[in-house]
């Protein structure tokens, strides 16, 4: 990787604090180890409008290249991350959810069907939404996101798109 990206981390949770947010901490540490910069990190409750508000501010900020969202992708009554985020996308990254569930199947079996992991682009900002467990974040980061945010990854990655070079 040559020059890192500015990446924000958003945890969607009604119960986690900065001290108990192991998934957000994992994502922050992983992006830093990979040579990226932490643009910002926040926790919001599982509320469609609070999720959209936080994401919208980062999407509008040209200095933020990507956002990693953890939590709110399941089927419980309060899980609303996909509903909050999908209307913000200019383009969806269909393969993200598909490949995430394929990788996750090897780890948790058929329970992976309950993951509504999604990703997309909004105003040249990549947004990756994954489940709230640290294990799921590890699977998404190591299996997909790390390479797609690495300009040396071939045959393709998202870096030039996020920097506005194509």
What does DSSP say about strands 125-130 and 91-92: parallel, antiparallel, or unpaired? unpaired
What fold does the segment set 6-162 form as a domain?
Molybdenum Cofactor Biosythetic Enzyme; Chain A (3.40.980)
Compute the distance between CA of residue 23 and CA of residue 98 in angstroms, rounded to an integer.
21
CB distance 163 to 65 below 8 Å: yes
Residues shown for the chain: 166
pTM score, two decimals? 0.96
Residue-wise pLDDT tens digits, 22-44: 999 999 999 999 999 999 999 99
DSSP reduced 3-state for 31? helix
Task: Provide the residue ranges of all domains of the chain, joining segments of one domain with +.
Answer: 6-162
Residue-wise pLDDT tens digits, 41-61: 999 999 999 999 999 999 999
Longest dimension (CA), the chain: 43
């Amino acid at each position: 990787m040559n020059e890192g990206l500015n990446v924000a981390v958003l945890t969607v949770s009604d119960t986690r604090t900065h001290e108990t947010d192991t998934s957000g901490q994992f994502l922050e540490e992983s992006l830093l180890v990979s040579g990226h910069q932490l643009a910002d990190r926040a926790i919001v409750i599982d509320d469609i409008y609070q999720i959209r508000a936080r994401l919208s501010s980062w999407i509008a900020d040209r200095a933020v290249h990507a956002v990693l969202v953890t939590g709110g992708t399941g089927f419980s009554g309060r899980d609303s991350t996909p509903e909050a985020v999908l209307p913000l996308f200019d383009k969806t990254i269909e393969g993200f959810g598909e490949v995430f569930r394929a990788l996750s199947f090897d780890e948790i079996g058929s329970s992976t069907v309950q993951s509504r992991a999604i990703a997309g682009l909004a105003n040249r900002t990549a947004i990756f939404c994954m489940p709230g467990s640290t294990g799921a974040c590890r699977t998404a980061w190591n299996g997909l996101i790390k390479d797609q945010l690495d300009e040396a990854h071939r045959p393709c990655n998202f870096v030039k798109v996020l920097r506005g070079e194509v």
